[in-house]
């Protein structure tokens, strides 16, 4: 069985929270974790889910790994 250890909890970005303050939203904190027994690290992005008036998911990564942008709109 794989065992993960959380290295760091990622807090929501204040700029994005300011932009989406007028919408109904759910924010899920991201995590940086590593697989025990290896040197592999995994990044779970901070997820901003806007539920009203439309449905939109914004994923914010700790590093610029997708097209040199700070966030990715799914």
pLDDT digits (tens, 9 = 90+) for 5-59: 998 898 898 988 998 889 999 999 999 888 898 888 888 889 999 998 889 998 8
d(CA 46, CA 31): 8
Q: Which residues contact 54 (CB under 8 A, 6 or more apart)?
A: none
Find the mean pLDDT for residues 59-68.
65
Handedness of CA 28, 72, 13, 70 (dihedral sign): positive
Residue spans of the domains in the chain: they are 4-73
pLDDT of residue 5: 92
* Cα–Cα nearest to 9, from 41, 44, 38: 44
pLDDT for the residue numbered 29: 93
pLDDT of 58:
87
Residue recorded with tokens 């806007």:
50
H-assigned helices in 1-74: 14-19
Length of the chain: 74
Write down the pTM of the prediction: 0.72
With bands split at pLDDT 50, 70 and 90, how would you rate the model's confidence at 66? very low
């Amino acid at each position: 069985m794989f065992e993960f250890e959380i290295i760091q909890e990622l807090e929501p970005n204040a700029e994005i929270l300011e932009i989406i303050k007028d919408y109904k939203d759910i924010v899920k904190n991201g995590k940086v974790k590593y697989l025990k027994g290896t040197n592999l690290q995994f990044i779970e992005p901070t997820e901003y889910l806007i539920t009203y008036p439309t449905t939109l998911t914004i994923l914010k990564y700790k590093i610029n790994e997708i097209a040199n942008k700070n966030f990715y709109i799914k």
